[in-house]
Amino acid sequence: MLFYIIEKNETMRKAWEFFLKEQKVDCYTCDEVGDFKFIAEDLKPTIFICDSETVVQEFKHFSNTVTTSEILKIVPIVTVGEASNQFEHLNLKKHFYKPVNLRSIFPQILSYAKEY
């Protein structure tokens, strides 16, 4: 199981890394969409956790990448932060508003990852 996290805030990325390591869940974190397609297709994540502000800045690239990839279009997506209806046409499972308590949202996120 691999969680792919896109989050521009370094403190939040580190919090995710620390928490998921504690839960014995592998993760890959990055601070932008960038070369998302090649890395994500290679890693084959079981879920995307996206800071909505980070992804919205490059949403067209993110959306095109997800929807045109046979591998990525079925990966569940969870967003965190400000709500954005842009994600609705993707495999969006849940949105959480910040601030989040990772311990309290983890069981629900894990259930989406296990569905995949």
Per-residue pLDDT tens for 45-63?
999 999 999 999 999 999 9
HSE value, Cβ hemisphere, 13 Å, CA-based, for 72: 19
Q: How much is the pLDDT for 116? A: 67
Decide: 25 and 53 in contact? Cβ < 8 Å: no
Q: What percent of the chain has pLDDT over 90?
A: 88
Domain annotation for the chain: domains and CATH numbers: 2-115 (3.40.50.2300)
Answer whether residue 107 shows pLDDT above 90: yes
Averaged pLDDT of the chain: 94
